[in-house]
Structure 1
Amino acid sequence: MFVIITYDVSERRVNKVRKVLKKYLIWTQNSVFEGDITEAKLYKCLSEVNKIMDKREDSIYVYKIENPRNLTKDVIGISKNLDDMFL
């Protein structure tokens, strides 16, 4: 399945959350990750993120697209793949 994950976490935890998400998905914009992932890997990813976040302050949004043929992505302006910025 294809997922988009957005997050709003405290500055103290943002790098830890980003590090976990980068193991599973592609970092496309600040606080946004996307990519193909299995249900099992998504569960593992979210379990790791859940251990880091504070549910009283932070939020994670997970958008699941079961059939990628129903998804159209238009980028207006520069298309960022932040993973490509680092060697």
Structure 2
Amino acid sequence: MVRMTTCGNAVCGTIIRTFDETGEYQSENIGRQIVIDMVPQGDGRYEGSVYRPSNDRIYIGRMEVDGDRLSLRGCVAGGLLCARQNWVRLQ
């Protein structure tokens, strides 16, 4: 679970809870910022950086927000190769 907040003129996201196939667990990544300085580009699009805990690397990040849905991409090679995750806002 990631809490999205403003950070200056950008948006950032910090891990606040972690889960695996057995349920919730206390990961060493709790408190780690994984959505980094996503600056608004207009039309619900953002650009910044994304941290990937599984390999401890930071990637070029792109994010699109549409209502309660968020699409997050982490890219290498100038944005040619990307992995995507789709998130939903919890109420």
TM-score higher than 0.5: no
TM-score (norm: length of structure 2) = 0.25
Which structure features the higher share of strand residues?
2
* Higher RCO (C-alpha 8 Å, min separation 6): 1
TM-score (norm: length of structure 1) = 0.26
